[in-house]
Structure 1
């Protein structure tokens, strides 16, 4: 008896040891041959915010997938899949012995393979680790199935099947099949569609619905009948589903936003990269770009970006005109490229200057020739316009007034403010910010410019672009709410102050254009009630395009994009964001030339203007030291009873102040407004102590409005000119372009008919100008 117990104990020890060794071998095998779950170069897809695929990136074998979770697939599909493929999936340990025995019996009776008896877990094992259809291959499949059940939950195994099952050609996974074959998300499958996709992986090549619709329909009906016989779906529902034909359009691979999708791969490591784009809008924008292609010059491209400024989500991104046209460098994303921004930065300098109390919307600025060292900026329309208000200067995008304001504000401060808000201006190595910044003398990106323009709709704060839905909404201050509101209204052609009852609460489209030096870049930035629209056209290689400028080349395209965005229902219109007048913005009346309010009847109010005012501020007319010296525009004078200027100590001398226009504006003023007429004459009996007013600059040799005709047989006209008056160097300009002359006399030679503006400037800022016509 004792010997029997010893023998039984010995056998138990041997059994335990054997089981322990067996377990060690299993663990070792699991470590030596782990599940191949990680792919080196997995298939990836970029989708819009609603899950619509934009662009797919296949794996190294050319396979592409649309990753889904169980919650992102229709319950109908899951019911059809499990009931038809593996009814006991949730109960068995990865292998269903009853199914294996049943399949073996059916195969023996028929003398051929009728049923494989594979569970969903075993199918996943074969998909992860393909093997030959041999006995050794079957053992390997069983081992992988047990590994799956060991390491993963049932939900994880089922998710692997949903994303790895073959659906014909290069498609894997129900997500990719649903989008390519049916054009819809797998969560929206009907009963018929769910049954079709459930059976396709059994023979994906033979049942492809885009090639073999009848075979696919027969297989689908088999699944439908199974669902009815097992009581999973209602018989009436199955009957209706059987009547649906299997008809599919040719397979459509996702081909939207290629450059944006390529960029997003570097920002996320997910297999499915979810973005903020709107696939419907993106498709419309790309079609618009292709239709616009024929209007572009050879080798030219375009770029469009649409941003919802209420939440800073990027809704559309077209980086090139046609991704398939290599002659236009279409693989270069011009939204992220560094280009000269032209004049699109001007709204920012005017807004910043208002916040600093330098100007207000009706401030008198000077569109006259300027010379700062070797820098002599001109206007796009090759001329000068004299006195101009800030609002009009911004709307007409005049260069000289913007340079004047930037010089007063400071180029370094301007560049620093923009950089802090997320709009860096890129200069050559070692270069410092200078006055050319405001005319495009530094590089910038369209994406940064579009983001910066959101400040005019976000109460002065610049929002950071959101490329994925989970990106946080970040913003930085740039302008005060009042300055941002005023600039936006000016750009929307609503500079004239109106009562709140007459003021539109939904702001119409505000537009700013820009053209870089040499016609290399044409820009248009638009701001409607909800979106910022950025447009660029030009050549990616930076070569000029003759005749290309913002208003003609970019604005028409911007208007078409705006029309796309505005084509919405009345319900959507009612939900558009409002932009009420901030409390810091009020209405006021100021006078030129001083730039401040004056009482009615004051003789120094030479022109009265209504304007918006920020915090009630009325800064005086902005002057530059080299133009006016220390005298400014306010001339204190003493007058006698006859109204003549006298010395302060003369009898009956009364002090008064005469406000004059800035000296460089003289040529554009009527005779009655010029200094000679505004400042009273000096008295002969008690003359003032000083009469040191600069001698007027006079241009001789041609009169205003002259029509000049060439002599018979002559192709060129020579005009001897003389600038007399004050002393010093003279600078000559023709149609805004500097001429190579600095003396009192100059001979102008012209050989081309047309309208001309000739201008000469002296060292104290006086200007003489004349307009004439050459026939």
Structure 2
């Protein structure tokens, strides 16, 4: 009785001592299970798009738990470790049996390794000795202590060797069968389970006949053990083995390379790319660029964003990733380029939200000097008075700069920062009015994200490349209002515009989208970005070398490619077009000004506006003038005769528009000259000196003996102007006539007065060289 109790107590103490020892050793010698896996890029369905070697130049692809099918699990456990689910890392009976056989035979005939022990051996490869076997047993106990059975099986599946530089079931499955493990047949599973025991002699692709015999032996063993039903076994036995070593998948290369760099620690990167869409758009881009080769245009990029999920479904960084001659490996979606006119919709949307303009608001497209900056239109022409919607649809530059000046550059830059334009954020302090004409750097990805916000009622959410497994909707941050987004969409949906491709086929098959084109200075970049309710698609065409091409333009070069991709992606879309927001209404406005009509506004049209936001200015495109019956003289209230005068409406033209009409000899109704006997001094609407620019420095070359231009803009009704240099009369000339003078060095005061006594002064500095 006492002996039994003593023995029992001694056994319990010994057991606890062993447990304490194991835990102590576990703390002292922690288990390291961090194998270096290959990076896999998968599509939206989980199929591999692109695979990369790991840091050791091995194909070791990570098998996820859900990829280990019941068939695969049963086959591995039956073949390698029948008691895997029951033991604690080692099988004492198997170890005793193996040790006994080894002693009897005098050589190692059985290792008695469990799956856990094999995992340890794969993690810590060492020479097969009895001492190392003890270490292996200890590590197996550690493995069981820290990981579940499913995780241990997963490690085994990921580490088993298949010869050469292939490790893991998934690597073998992809490279030999072009399948993921979860869809392998029983015959293919059995094939892959027998190779790790003899990876040198059982080499798939070269030893298929031998592998087939070994496979069928194990299939019959499965049948005898009742692991699988007879029909399944019969089907597997009759299945041929045609496995060969295949190239690893190399699809969507630009995105794959990008994601591998961004997510270095994630072995399986699940993207939102739709495989068939990606492949087809890659081919569309490649075929399209091949047709442009004779024009010396060698590359293009395209991105497709799902507006409802904010996920990227296709990503084509160049026309041919494997063409080094034309920089095929450059990612055109991330390349920083000049945006041309593509930022204008955001500017006009901002102005709509500030109540500065509405679509029908009139604005002058005439030569204008903005403090030394004199922009021109793409076609080198000027269009006089136009509406805002015409200016945007026709991508006119002067109106855009005028609107930016009124909105203010800092306000617009803040909008661009909220839209995540990184180069603009970095260089914001250096940007001026030229920003709206492409004087900044953007990427195709950034532009496409911006236009997607118009499709999402003004809410910006950066498009994601990784698949979103959650159904939670992402709304994003408001950069413009739903109302202004709608107004922009209505303008960009117009088809009577110059940036429609000059090709009937494209017009005939044109999808219902809103789109905007852009061409950078020097014709180095052609852009076209379009959207509907479901998709936003961005296209860039050009040369990565930066070489300009005379034929390159967003309208005729980039837009046809945009239409091709849209017609493939969403032709005859079932999605409804955008609804009019509740806070957008319609009103009658004067066609001449876009303002609320007065009694004299005989031509009225319908315009959208935002109640409580849009300006409520009354029209003033005409004004009443007192004139004599022959309309040869006008009068003001100071000099108005008591009789012999009539009141008549005349165009109330701005000085810049008068100047435009005069210089281009466009007829307009002029206000008769003012009464020369009038003594009144006018204080409003003084001449605007358009050149030289106030506060500027001018460097003059003595060799060229140049002269400096004097130019001004005056109101309708002004007939003569007087130029003064340093307060001395220089010349009296008809209004809107250019004058030249040879300046002296130093600071010079220049004054311009009109025939009504209104005066403007500026100062310039002249330096002779």
TM over 0.5: yes
Cα distance, 1:669–1:430 mapped onto 2, change above 3 Å: closer
Shift of 1:430: 8.3
Once the two structures are superposed, residues 6-26 of structure 1 have per-residue CA deviations (whole angstroms, 9 ceiling, x without a partner) of: x99999998888777766665
Q: Check whether the contact 1:419–1:425 (CA below 8 A) recurs between aligned residues.
A: no
Tell me how far apart the structure 2 counterparts of residues 291 and 676 of structure 1 sit (CA, whole Å): 52
How far apart, CA to CA, are the structure 1 residues paired with 2:256 and 2:289?
A: 22
Distance in 1 separating the partners of 2:426 and 2:478: 27
**In structure 2, do the counterparts of structure 1 residues 298 and 218 end up closer, same or farther at CA, with 3 Å as the change threshold?**
farther
CA shift for structure 1 position 494: 6.4
SS at structure 2 position matched to 1:595: coil
1:481 corresponds to 2:498: no
1:63-74 mapped onto 2 (5 Å cutoff):
63-74=58-69
Q: Which runs of 5+ in 2 are unaligned?
A: 498-509, 688-709, 713-718, 724-736, 742-751, 755-769
Aligned position for 1:677 = 669
Q: Within the alignment, does 1:35 sit opposite 2:27 as a pair?
A: no
Alpha-carbon separation, structure 2, partners of 1:763 and 1:260: 63
Residue 566 (1) aligns with residue 570 (2): yes
**Contact 2:367/2:660 (<8 A) preserved:** no
Distance 1:584 1:11, change over 3 A: closer
1:413-432 superposed matches below 5 A: 413-424=411-422, 426=424, 431-432=429-430
Q: Residue 636 of structure 1 aligns with which residue?
A: 624
In structure 2, the CA distance between the partners of 1:211 and 1:365, relative to structure 1 (3 Å rule), is farther
Structure 2 CA distance for aligned equivalents of residues 30 and 96 of structure 1 = 20
2:526–2:554 contact (8 Å) kept in structure 1: yes
Q: Cα–Cα, structure 1 residues 132 and 290, in superposed 2: closer, same or farther, change >3 Å? A: farther
Instruction: Summarize the Cα distance change of 1:524–1:244 in structure 2 as closer, same or farther, 3 Å threshold.
Output: same
Select between 276-285 and 402-411 the one with higher mean Cα deviation: 276-285
1:67-216 superposed matches below 5 A: 67-99=62-94, 117-216=112-211
Measured against aligned partners, the alpha-carbon deviations of 1:471-512 in whole angstroms (never above 9, x if no partner) come to 98362212221211121122121699xxxxxxxxx9822221
Structure 2 Cα separation of the partners of residues 273 and 565 of structure 1: 24
Structure 1 Cα separation of the partners of residues 27 and 332 of structure 2: 50
Shift of 1:455: 1.9
SS of 1:175's equivalent in the other structure is: helix
TM alignment of 1:404-483, pairs within 5 A: 404-424=402-422, 426=424, 431-469=429-467, 473=474, 475-483=476-484
- Identify if the C-alpha distance between structure 1 residues 123 and 8 changes in structure 2 by more than 3 Å, giving closer, same or farther: closer
Show the counterpart of 2:356. 358
Aligned to 1:279: 275
Aligned residues: 684
Task: State the Cα distance separating 1:136 from its structure 2 match.
Answer: 4.3
Task: Report deviation, 1:346.
Answer: 0.8
Aligned mates of 1:319, 1:512 — CA distance in 2: 20
In 2, Cα distance between equivalents of 1:68 and 1:122: 19
1:508 to 512, 517, 522: 512
1:233 maps to 2:237: no
**2:304 matches 1:306:** yes
> Is this contact kept in 1: 2:511–2:567, CA < 8 A?
no
Match of 1:527 among 520, 528, 531: 531
SS at match of 1:418: helix
Residue 344 of structure 1 and its aligned partner are, at CA, apart by 0.4
CA contact (8 A) 2:686 2:753 kept: no
Distance change >3 Å, CA 346–CA 415, structure 1 → 2: same
Structure 2 counterpart of 1:555, from 554, 559, 564: 559
Going from structure 1 to structure 2, the CA distance change for 1:633 and 1:198 (only over 3 Å counts) comes to same
CA contact (8 A) 2:366 2:384 kept: yes
Distance 1:613 1:430 in 2: 31
State whether residues 204 and 244 of structure 2, in contact with CA within 8 Å, keep that contact through their aligned partners in structure 1: no
**2:340 aligns to what SS in structure 1?**
coil
CA distance in 2, matches of 1:80, 1:622: 84
Residue ranges of structure 1 left out of the alignment (5+ in a row): 497-505, 624-631, 696-721, 730-741, 747-761, 765-775
The reply to whether residue 256 of structure 1 matches residue 254 of structure 2 is: no
Structure 1 residue 140, shift from structure 2 partner: 4.0
Query: 1:231 Cα shift?
Result: 2.2
Q: In the alignment, which residue of structure 1 is the partner of 2:593?
A: 594
- Which residue matches 2:316? 318
CA distance in 2, matches of 1:99, 1:14: 27
Kept in 1: contact 2:529–2:536 (CA 8 A)? yes
- Counterpart contact for 1:363–1:621, Cα < 8 Å: no
Q: Distance in 2 between matches of 1:25 and 1:281?
A: 59
Q: TM-score w.r.t. structure 2 length?
A: 0.76
RMSD: 4.5
SS at match of 2:669: helix
Using the TM superposition, give the Cα deviation of residue 253 of structure 1 relative to its aligned residue in structure 2, in angstroms.
Answer: 0.9
Structure 1 residue 134: deviation in Å? 4.2
SS state at 1:518 partner:
coil
Note the C-alpha offset of 1:158: 0.9
User: Can you list the C-alpha shifts for 1:167-193, whole angstroms capped at 9, x where unaligned?
Assistant: 343332223333333333333333333
Q: Which of residues 399, 402, 420 is equivalent to 2:400?
A: 402
Residue of 57, 60, 84 corresponding to 2:55: 60
In the superposition, the TM-score normalised over structure 1's length comes to 0.76
Question: Are 2:366 and 1:368 aligned?
Answer: yes
- Per the TM alignment, residue 197 of structure 1 is displaced from its structure 2 partner at its CA by 3.2
CA contact (8 A) 2:651 2:669 kept: no
Contact 1:362 1:390 in 2 (8 A): yes
SS in 1 for 2:424: coil
Which residue of the partner structure matches residue 733 of structure 1? none
Q: 1:665 to 1:207 in 2, by over 3 A?
A: farther
Return the offset for 1:408. 1.9
Which sits farther off after the overlay, 476-485 or 109-118?
109-118
Q: CA deviation at 1:578?
A: 4.3
> Is 1:584 aligned to residue 583 of structure 2?
yes
